[in-house]
Structure 1
Amino acid sequence: MRLSNLADYAVVTMSAAARHCGGGRTSAAELAAETGLPVPTVQKLVSKLSSAGLLRSTRGTGGGLQLARPAAAITVADIVEAVEGPIALTACVEGAECSVEHECSVRPHWPVVNEALRGALAAIPLTQLARIEEVA
C-alpha cells in the first residue's frame, strides 16, 4: 500500500502546522514555504483538513491557520482519512463490485485487516511527527 501524494503532503503540512502550536497562527503560504510544497497544493489541503475539523481558519487581522485541536489528539489516521476517506486496502470492503465476490473466502476478513492498519496509523500522534530533531 502506498499513500497518494496528496495524503503524504497532508501529513507534511499538518506536521509543519503543529510546529506553530503556541506560536500563533500561520498561513498557507507560510506552510508552503516551510514544506517546499506549491501554494495551490497547500491551499487545497487546508480546505480538506479544515473540512475534516483538523485545521481552523480565522479571517481578518490576526487571522490565519491553527490546529483545530491539540496536536496530541490528531493522528496520522485522521490526516490520511481527511484526504483519502476511510482507510481500506481493498475496494470490495467499500461495496465496489468484484468479479470473484461470490467465490471469495477472504472478503469477510478484510475489515479486520483494515482496522489493524487504521489502528497502527491512529497510534502515531501528530506530536511525534512534528518533533524537530536536533542535528548533532
Structure 2
Amino acid sequence: MGKLTDYGTLMMTYLAREPKCLHSAQDIAHAIGINVPTATKVLKTLTRSGLLESHRGIKGGYLLAKTPENITMADIIGALEGPIGLTDCGTASQPGNCHRERSCSVKANWQKISQAINDALASVSLAEMTVPVAQPIVMQRPTNIEQVRL
C-alpha cells in the first residue's frame, strides 16, 4: 500500500467522524498533518471513485458520499490503488498482465491469498476505523519457515 493510500484512509476516517459536515481540503490536510496539494490530489481521486462528494464555493468542501457503515476499507484501498492483489495474476479483474500466466503453477494460490486479503478489507467498515482499538494488536513474525502456512 502506498503513502497516498495511507493518507486516504486517514482522510476518510477523519471525515467519517463527522459524516454530514463539509470539510475543506486545507482543514483535512491540517488535521492529518500533510500538505494541501497532496490532500487535494487524494481527495480528487476519492471523489472520482464515488466515495466523496465535492462542493465548490466559499463554504464548500468534501463529505462522504455514503454513510461510514457503507464504505469498506476495500472500497478505499481499491479506489486509490486499483484492484487488490499481491501479484499481477492475484486479481481476477486484470488477466494477461504476466507472460507466465498460462503456465504458472502458483497463480491459483496467489489469487486465493489476494481474495482472502480483499475479504478481510471488505469486512472492516469506515465506521469501525473511527473507533480506537483498546489494546494494540501485536504482530508476531514466525520464527521459522515451518510456522508459515498458506
**TM-score category (smaller protein):** 0.7 to 0.9
Confirm whether residue 19 of structure 1 aligns to residue 20 of structure 2.
no
Report the counterpart of residue 48 of structure 1 in structure 2. Answer: 45
Kindly name which structure, 1 or 2, has the bigger radius of gyration based on alpha carbons.
2
Gap change, CA 1:21 and 1:86, over 3 Å in 2? same
Report the counterpart of residue 110 of structure 1 in structure 2. Answer: 110
**CA distance in 1: counterparts of 2:61 and 2:131, whole angstroms:** 22
Report the counterpart of residue 97 of structure 1 in structure 2. Answer: 98
Task: For 2:27, give the aligned amino acid.
Answer: E
Q: Which runs of 5+ in 2 are unaligned?
A: 135-150
TM-score under structure 2 length normalisation? 0.78
Q: What fraction of aligned residue pairs are identical, expressed as a percent? A: 38
**Count, aligned residues:** 130
**Per chain length, whose mean CA-contact separation is higher, i.e. which structure has more relative contact order (CA < 8 Å, sep 6+)?**
1
Q: Which runs of 5+ in 1 are unaligned?
A: none
Give 2:85's match in structure 1, choosing from 85, 88, 94. 88
Task: For 2:6, give the aligned amino acid.
Answer: D
TM-score under structure 1 length normalisation? 0.86
**CA distance in 1: counterparts of 2:84 and 2:66, whole angstroms:** 22
Runs of 4+ in structure 1 deviating by more than 3 angstroms, as ranges, are 100-103
Give 2:67's match in structure 1, choosing from 66, 70, 73. 70
1:133 deviates by 7.2
